[in-house]
Amino acid sequence: MTPIGRAREPALTRETSRVRPEIQALRAIAVTLVVIYHLWPDRLPGGYIGVDVFFAISGFLMTSHLFGQVERTGTVALGKFYSRRIRRLLPASLLVLLVIGVTTLIFVPVRLWTVIGQNVLASALYVENWSLVSNSVDYLGASSTSIPTQHFWSLAVEEQFYLVWPVLLIIAAFLFARSRPERRRFVVTIVVGVVAVASLCYSVWATNYDQPSAFFNTLARMWEFALGGIAALVLPGIRIRPFVSTVLTWLGLVGIAVSSVLYRDSSPFPGWIALVPVVATLLVIAGGDQQIRFSPSILFRWRPVQFIGDISYSIYLWHWPLIVLLPILLAHAITTPLRLAIIAASLLLGWLSKRFVEDPLRSNRVRPDAAAPRRFPASRVFAAAAVGMLVVSAAGVSVLAVGQSRVDAAERTLESLPNPATLSCFGATALPDISCNGSNGLGSQIFPPPIIAREETGSQGCQQTTLDTALLSCAFGSKSSSAFRVALAGDSHAGEWLEGVRGVAESKGWRLDTYLRSGCGLAIVTNPGIGAATRCQTWNDSVLKTLVARHYDAVIVSTRSSLVGGSAMSPSQQSAVAASMVRAWTKLEDAGIQVIALRDTPEPLGAGVPDVPGCVADSHSPQTQCSVLRSKAVITDPQVAAVAAVPGAKLVDMTAYFCPGLTCPPIIGNVLVYSDGHHMTGLYSQSLATGLAKELASALGRAD
């Protein structure tokens, strides 16, 4: 690459007459990666990097367009810029959101209305990424809840970029208005570079600290746009030989392909590894459209590729709602034929949206066959956008309000339940007593109602979050200094036992203290690494010191035995986890504290029912359709091996209370057993108190 005296013309935006085949091809590649990832995540585990390709393209094109204005006029016409962005992006996105809202009201189960309404509203206001952060959604987590607007997070990030970027360039243009053009470009490049470096450093830190939140965080993504901006500022001053351009293009394509294949849901993304797809995208842009031998130009210019690139935005908008809503509408699990149908429907809807929504409004032609465009002032565009956003927001609020009213009614039903302690044949107490025959005077009502079961857990208010290392403890039972003192410690799979253990403590006069934290079992990891693992170990160290210092008589522990998504650990993972438990439990045993491990509960998630309340709510025969085989639900628990390696430690196995036969039913004694696919409801935990008291008394060797 050699500099030349006269810079080549800045790259043009899509609004101009010039279409760059390589950028259209990149768009086609990006949307194809995302769609395949969403439909076949196991086949293309890193396909989510398609969004990063889009980000880099947007940064390049927007900076080219905006800085071109700065060079010509000394500033940016913000009104015209935002008017074009609105006409380009809002009509199609608002249409999709409106369809989602109406479809939800007509076809989607009521249990999903609240979350869908909330996210339709957030998407209409372009803050969906922050809504997902506030609700702790994990985009790369296999067990994350499917929300039909979830893909709007990237559009929200892009819109937030559009709000900041023109202002930054205007400020830079004002400060260096009297500088020579070459110096002004150089200084603006430095400013953009500082933004890129600062955002990248923050992205690396945020990804290590809390990867799920970092994935949606605009500040952790800004550098991807900024690198595109740097390319837009630097490339016009560089002449690249055709052969070198071809090499760069192929290198870029290989980089995109390799990252889409090698990256996984467990990869520390976005972080520094997002540099690979972003830089690869910019290499393709730098290579341009060189029509020479061995150049991929012929592939770029292939009509199907250009067509997909042209409708990529609309494909992106439509494909995810189809993936989430079609299985609900058809009452059919997603299969290969349905996946292929979703692809076909996405292409069709994408083309229709482009032809009849995007193009007419972007070009100011109300009718596609109009001879000349009709110019609308920016003020009228802004007013129309405000009305459109208001209408869609109203739809979202309506769905949210109706859904919340149903939730409130379900909560009133739950509040009307008599004291479970006074009921026979209720929950787990129905299992050993064959004389009750499932009759307890409650008819066919299910408690808690499936519509609110997700929030109905036994450890609310007593469980620390994954981002905090401070000890959070709750006390129950006797306050006497001479009472038998028990602690319940571990992750959410220890927390789900709280109501049951609390019932035991209160009935026997024990003192119970809790030490619970999401995603963090009581263990000592020799090499915790960084981020979440480090925070978990910091919390564990504090808990172990506190348990030893307070001289508890016994510590009851439990930990999730499966991986995220419900799959079982490999033998090597089980051995490593068991060893870390042994190290922690040995400290307690050495201090004279007995360890009681509650074997992890069976998991419908790993047996094919990821959402038990949803299955129960949507099934005509939930006891048949939502039951899972015991052989698939019971996963090998590393705690079993750890107990065998720690003299004095005892294992309490309550599996029979969840799977009384060959299957594990979703409802036992009118009580919904699970609040999702792997946590039991607080009410079922409460009903386990009688059986749990017997098992704990046996393990502790106490008759009381």
Write out pLDDT tens, residues 341-369: 999 999 999 999 999 998 888 776 555 55
Q: What is the pLDDT of residue 142?
A: 45
**What is the rounded distance in angstroms from the CA atom of residue 400 to the CA atom of residue 214?**
27
Asked if 286 contacts 239 with a C-beta cutoff of 8 angstroms, the reply is: no
Task: Report, as an integer, the average pLDDT of 85-114.
Answer: 91
**Residue type at 634 in one-letter notation:** V
Tokens 């009133």 locate to 412
Please state, in angstroms and rounded to a whole number, the distance separating the CA atoms of residues 684 and 217: 37
pLDDT greater than 50 at residue 11: no
Tokens of 75: 């500033």
The mean pLDDT of 83-111, rounded to a whole number, is: 91
Residue-level pLDDT at 437: 65
Q: Residue 704: what pLDDT?
A: 66
Please state which of the ranges 90-94, 323-327, 377-381, 404-408 shows the lowest mean pLDDT.
377-381
Question: What pLDDT score was predicted for residue 74?
Answer: 74
Can you tell me the distance from the alpha carbon of 406 to that of 555, in angstroms, rounded to the nearest whole number? 40
78-107 vs 312-330: helix axis angle to the nearest 10? 10
pLDDT at 17 over 60: no
3-state secondary structure of 159: helix
Q: Which helix (H) or strand (E) holds 418?
A: none
**How high does pLDDT run on average in the chain?**
88
Higher pLDDT, 555 or 184: 555
Arithmetic mean of pLDDT, 127-131: 95
pLDDT exceeds 80 at position 633: yes
405: Cβ contacts below 8 Å, ≥ 6 apart = none
Grouping H, G, I as helix, E, B as strand and the rest as coil, residue 570 is: coil
Residue 186 reports pLDDT greater than 60: yes
- Residue 161, pLDDT above cutoff 90: yes
Count Cβ neighbours within 10 Å for each residue of 441-470 and write b for 16 or more, e otherwise. ebeeebbbbbbbbbebbbbeebbbebeebe
Residue 490 has pLDDT above 90, yes or no: yes
- With residue 49 as reference, give the H or E element that holds it: none
Amino acid 365: pLDDT: 54
Residues 269, 203: Cα–Cα separation, whole Å: 9
- pLDDT, mean of residues 462-478: 92
Confidence category of residue 10, pLDDT binned at 50, 70, 90: very low
Residue 8 — very low, low, confident or very high, per pLDDT cuts 50/70/90? very low
pLDDT, residue 367, reads 53
pLDDT in tens, 436-451: 666 777 778 888 999 8
Instruction: Quote the CA–CA distance of 290 and 118 in Å, as a whole number.
Output: 47
Which whole-number Å values give the CA distances from 145 to 68, 140, 219, 557, in the listed order? Answer: 43, 11, 24, 28
pLDDT at 433: 65
Would you state the structure tokens that stand for residue 630, as one six-digit string?
Answer: 């015991």
Q: What is the pLDDT at residue 12?
A: 36
Instruction: State yes or no: pLDDT of 329 exceeds 60.
Output: yes
Confidence of residue 3 (pLDDT cuts 50, 70, 90): very low
pLDDT attached to residue 371: 52
Average pLDDT over residues 604-613: 89
pLDDT at residue 389 greater than cutoff 70? yes
Q: What is the mean pLDDT of residues 586-608?
A: 94
As a whole number, mean pLDDT of residues 521-537 equals 86
pLDDT on residue 597: 97
Q: What is the pLDDT of residues 250-271, one digit of tens each?
A: 999 999 999 999 998 888 999 9
Q: How high is the pLDDT of residue 4?
A: 31
- The DSSP-derived string for 292-329 is STT-THHHHT-HHHHHHHHTHHHHHHHHHHHHHHHHHH
Residue linked to tokens 């709280």: 498
How many helices and strands in the chain, by DSSP H and E?
A: 26, 13
Residue ranges of domains in the chain: 2-90+142-337+346-385, 420-700
**Helix or strand (DSSP H, E) at 120:** helix 113-124
Residues 408-426: what's their mean pLDDT?
Answer: 83
Q: Residue 521: what pLDDT?
A: 93
Domain 420-700, CATH class in plain words: alpha beta
Tens digits of per-residue pLDDT, 666-689?
A: 999 999 999 999 999 999 999 999
Which tokens sit at 57? Answer: 């393209």
